[in-house]
Amino acid sequence: MTTFESRNPAHPSSIVGTFAVADAAAVDDAVRRATGAQRAWAQVPVPARAEIIGSIGDVLASRKADLARLVTLEAGKILVEAGGDVQEAVDMAGFIAGQGRAAWGTTHPCEMPNKFGFTTRHPVGVVGMITPWNFPVAIPSWKIFPALLAGNGVVIKPSELAPACCDAFVEACVAAGVPADLVNVVHGFGDVGAAITTHPGVRAISFTGSVPTGRRVAAAAMEVGPKLVSLELGGKNAAIVMDDADLDLVVEGALFGAFGTSGQRCTSTSRLVVHRAVADELVERITARATALRVGDPMDATTDVGPVITAESAARIHGMVERAIDEGNTLVMGGHAVEPSECEGGSFYTPTLLRGAHRDSYIARNEVFGPVLAVLEVESFDDAIETVNDCEYGLSSAIYTHDVNLAMQAVHRLDTGIVYVNAPTIGAEIHLPFGGNKHTGNGYREAGTRGLEQFSETKSVYIDYSGRLQKAQIDNREALS
């Protein structure tokens, strides 16, 4: 049996857990168990499924401190943000539990007399899920809870960088009453994801990760499908700062948006699109505050910025910063890896501010997934909107202004799935749809009421109680001669 270890990114010599790599037989077995359990689960009334999901929320809440510690240990998030990760799953459980007693479709009058139409949801069967390490509790909850509410079975492969978090999450589901075999975790690397994606018993794939992997997942699923495929991919999120913005608020938002979670959220702010009139002052103020951020052990309550996930990640981030400098950006602060004394061998990157990026430079167009913020200066509101939209991603954006007209125009014109006004690009709440435009996704949204769409088939039902054959589009029209 092949195994792999998950390690603490702040202390890489410390092993969080050892996991068996699932081979083809193990994936097969997981799909078979999910298929069997799903048949019975689909017979459970939706409100009863919802009650179990509500109980998962209670179990997660009661274990919040321990789960948050595990998130910190395995994913390197500072403790307070790890708590947020778990809380997001608790919130999701409450929301989805409520959905179990909400409308399950729509009703429609029909064009013929004594006939009525409605829609209802039907489970898709077994859903395959591939999830990232950066929200190792929240993201499985966004996928698993709606999938279960809709009556499905699940096979999930979490990132090999945060397997213990997923195991702990699924353990909480089982402790709350989710039937054994309904949710199956398989561990491993890309080939395990591929085995799930191409398995004939898996009808839908829900993937969160990078654009290149997402493309491969979708292509493989279609090759053996068609299957339902929902993709949540990268972001290159920008916050616009107009010349009337409250700069105190911008500084707070930029620090949290860009350097929170060490910049490793798909919603992290990585471009600050600033009106030229306030650029000097803003850069100075962000630098003053960011220099004071404490980079260190995420378990320590005084730490602001924890590690990045791996040494490879730190090297990749550094490569992007070097390239940005080569392309004419000014390095205002940071720009190097650090190793805090208490975290031997850990991979940390200092909060980094670059200035002078032009729209075509690599740093302005590509996701960093690290604590790096590029400042782009603009002359006007139109210039700002065009700059933000001139990018292949479309997840999250923000505008800081007091001008309500500009704020609303930005809401309409920014080509992203999420827009914030006077708030950073991170921090979405689970009862609103989450997802993005352009290469960020393929049209689905997670969370909110739309979160159920990727996990259910819509069934349109017509009831004819006239007792005779009625021909729509024909009987109620004049005969053609």
Kindly list the catalytic residues.
232, 266
Q: Which is nearer to ligand UN1, 9 or 123 (CB)?
A: 9
Q: Is the peptide bond before 226 cis (omega within 30 degrees of 0)?
A: yes
Answer yes or no: are the C-beta atoms of 130 and 149 closer than 8 Å.
no
Choice between 85 and 453, CB closer to ligand UN1: 85
Number of neighbours of residue 80 by Cβ within 10 angstroms: 14
Q: How far apart are CA 159 and CA 157, in angstroms?
A: 7
> Should residue 356 be labelled a site residue for ligand UN1 when binding is judged by CB under 6 A?
no
> Please, what is the minimum distance in Å from the beta carbon of residue 190 to ligand UN1?
19
Q: Is 332 in the site for ligand UN1 (CB under 6 A)?
A: no
Out of 94, 225, 345, 427, which residue is the one contacting ligand UN1 (CB under 6 A)?
A: 427
CB of 442 to ligand UN1, least distance (A): 16
Residue 172's contacts (CB-CB under 8 Å, 6 or more residues apart) are 56, 59, 60, 63, 67
Shortest distance (Å) from residue 430 CB to ligand UN1: 7
Q: Which two tokens stand for residue 51?
A: 């009650």
Mark the segment that binds ligand UN1 (CB under 6 A) among 13-21, 263-271, 347-355, 448-456: 263-271
Distance, in Å, from the CA atom of 101 to the CA atom of 98, rounded to the nearest integer, reads 6
Which of 214, 159, 217 is closest to 187 using CA atoms? 159
Q: Which helix (H) or strand (E) holds 478?
A: none
- Binding window for ligand UN1 (CB under 6 A); candidates: 69-77, 159-167, 211-219, 264-272: 264-272
121 binds ligand UN1 (CB under 6 A): no
Of these, 30, 52, 426, 452, which contacts ligand UN1 (CB under 6 A)?
Answer: 426
For residue 400, state whether it binds ligand UN1 (rule: CB under 6 A).
Answer: no
Q: What is the DSSP string of 69-127?
A: HHHHHHH---HHHHHHHHHHHHHHHHHHHHHTTS--S-EEE-SSTTEEEEEEEEE-SEE
Q: How far is the CB of 428 from ligand UN1 (least distance, A)?
A: 3
143 binds ligand UN1 (CB under 6 A): no
Proportion of the chain in helix, strand, coil states, percent, rounded to 5: 40, 25, 35
Report how far residue 198's alpha carbon sits from residue 227's, in angstroms, rounded to the nearest whole number.
Answer: 9
C-beta closer to ligand UN1: residue 38 or 454: 454
Q: In sequence order, what are the residues at sequence separation of 6 or more whose Cβ sits closer than 8 angstroms to the Cβ of residue 351?
A: 255, 258, 259, 290, 293, 295, 305, 333, 334, 371, 373
Stretch that binds ligand UN1, among 19-27, 60-68, 155-163, 260-268 (CB under 6 A): 260-268
Rounded to a whole number of angstroms, the minimum distance from the CB of residue 368 to ligand UN1 is 13
Nearer to ligand UN1, 241 or 428 (CB): 428
Among 124, 127, 266, 452, binds ligand UN1 (CB under 6 A): 266
Q: Which residue number is nearest to ligand UN1 in terms of Cβ?
A: 428
Cβ atoms within 10 Å, residue 317: 24
- Rounded to whole angstroms, the Cα distance separating 420 from 66 reads 32
Q: Please count the residues of this chain forming the interface with ligand UN1, following the rule CB under 6 A.
A: 9
CB of 429 to ligand UN1, least distance (A): 7
Q: Compute the least distance from the CB of residue 276 to ligand UN1, in Å.
A: 29
The answer to whether residue 369 forms part of the interface with ligand UN1 (CB under 6 A) is no
Q: Which two tokens stand for residue 203?
A: 């009808």
Residue (of 128, 10, 154) closest to 71 by Cα position: 10
SS (H, E, C) 159-172: CCCCHHHHHHHHHH
87 binds ligand UN1 (CB under 6 A): no
H helical segments located in 100-246? 138-149, 163-175, 190-197, 211-224
From 247-255, 359-367, 409-417, 426-434, span contacting ligand UN1 (CB under 6 A): 426-434
Please identify which residue in 199, 265, 355, 445 interacts with ligand UN1, judged by CB under 6 A: 265
Toward ligand UN1, which CB reaches closer, 187 or 265?
265
CB of 18 to ligand UN1, least distance (A): 26
Question: What's phi and psi for 17, nearest 5 deg?
Answer: -170, 160
SS3 273: strand
Applying CB under 6 A, does 135 fall inside the site for ligand UN1?
yes
Options 72, 184, 267, 440; binder of ligand UN1; rule CB under 6 A: 267
The least distance separating ligand UN1 from the CB of residue 425, rounded to whole angstroms, comes to: 8
Residue 268 CA to residue 129 CA, distance in Å, equals 23
347 is a site residue for ligand UN1 (CB under 6 A): no
131 lies in the binding site for ligand UN1 (CB under 6 A): no
Determine, following the binding rule CB under 6 A, whether residue 242 of this chain makes contact with ligand UN1. no
Q: Does 262 bind ligand UN1 (CB under 6 A)?
A: no
Give residues in contact with ligand UN1 (CB under 6 A).
88, 134-135, 265-267, 426-428
